[in-house]
Amino acid sequence: MKLLSTLAALLSGRPAAPAPASAPADLVFHIVSLDPPDGSTLPAGQNVTINVEWRYSAPARAVHFWVKPESPDGVGGSYEGDGHEAYRCQGQLVRTVRLHEPGRIEALQLVAKDGNSQEIYHRRIPVDYTFVASAEQEAKKSDGVGSRITRVTLDPPSPARLAPGTRVVVRIGYDAKSEGGLRPVAIPLTEAAMTYNGAATTVDGQGELAQHFTVGEPGTVQQVRVELWNEAGTAVDTQVIDVDLRYGR
């Protein structure tokens, strides 16, 4: 099994640690490039772009991929969601990560989940990125202040008894006033394995956007956090919605 056999050397000059026992033997990742390169100093809010080559020889099983930043400073950051695209066989994909405040990214977490939101691959890759204060980033933090979440509805509605893997659609009404656009997001608060489709769509004005999440194992969701994020990663409005969603087999 050759999982990331050269990746750690590519990024840090250190040998790669053994892959987790739970990782499928035929799931392989290679980071092709980092832009800007490892070791760079960049302003807060700037993206690091990661090009990943992958192969999964079990084409009947689709997977979802993320690359997440790890900061030793506890600084808030963001990463690009997978858009709930399901990848099969092999190919290349692009992901971005960034910090919204001055701090460091000391590792990238490569994560893959199956269609039931179960993590099937997790790899920590040491890197060294430093983010410094940015006047432009500071100015963006106030963009959209005063915007509101106007309504939230779930489909299926709460209360509900659901099978693991059932997609729950969250329709978010908004009144957004922003120069750079706001990104609605709905996150289920649960200890169970779950995925949500992230803040991928920018909105402005008045309207409604459908987001969704999936819980992949038995458990409960008693609250859903709904937010409007601006381009600086600041939540300009937050609502925590009480729900009663119970997942069983």
Same domain (yes/no): 132, 145:
no
Residue-wise pLDDT for 177-192, tens only, equals 999 999 999 999 999 9
Number of domains the chain contains: 2
Kindly state whether residue 2 falls inside one of the protein's structural domains. Answer: no
Same domain (yes/no): 128, 196:
no
| 2: Cβ contacts below 8 Å, ≥ 6 apart | 28
**What is the per-residue pLDDT for 7?**
29
| 56: Cβ contacts below 8 Å, ≥ 6 apart | 24, 26, 27, 28, 63, 87, 88, 89, 90
C-beta separation of 224 from 188 below 8 A: yes
Residue 22 has pLDDT above 70, yes or no: no
Residue 115 to residues 65, 86, 131, 147, 184, Cα–Cα distance (Å): 11, 8, 35, 34, 23
Range of the domain at 176: 141-247
Nearest to 69 by CA among 233, 224, 239, 234: 233
Kindly state whether residue 28 falls inside one of the protein's structural domains. Answer: yes
DSSP-derived 3-state class of residue 184 = strand
Same domain (yes/no): 170, 241:
yes
Same domain (yes/no): 27, 91:
yes
Residue 179 to residues 136, 147, 236, Cα–Cα distance (Å): 13, 12, 13
Residue 117 to residues 36, 62, 193, 195, 216, Cα–Cα distance (Å): 31, 11, 6, 6, 5
Residue-wise pLDDT for 145-201, tens only, equals 999 999 999 999 999 999 998 999 999 999 999 999 999 999 999 999 898 887 778
Residue at which a domain ends, from 136, 169, 187: 136
Kindly state whether residue 179 falls inside one of the protein's structural domains. Answer: yes
Same domain (yes/no): 198, 132:
no
Same domain (yes/no): 125, 60:
yes
Nearest to 235 by CA among 143, 172, 151: 143
| DSSP state letters, 92-111 | EEEEEEEESSSEEEEEEEEE
Same domain (yes/no): 131, 152:
no
Residue 195, domain CATH: 2.60.40.770
Kindly state whether residue 91 falls inside one of the protein's structural domains. Answer: yes
**What is the per-residue pLDDT for 85?**
53
Same domain (yes/no): 172, 217:
yes
Better pLDDT: 25 or 208: 208
Same domain (yes/no): 166, 94:
no
Residue 120 has pLDDT above 90, yes or no: no
Same domain (yes/no): 229, 183:
yes
Same domain (yes/no): 197, 98:
no
Residue 108, domain CATH: 2.60.40
Beta bridge partner(s), residue 148: 175
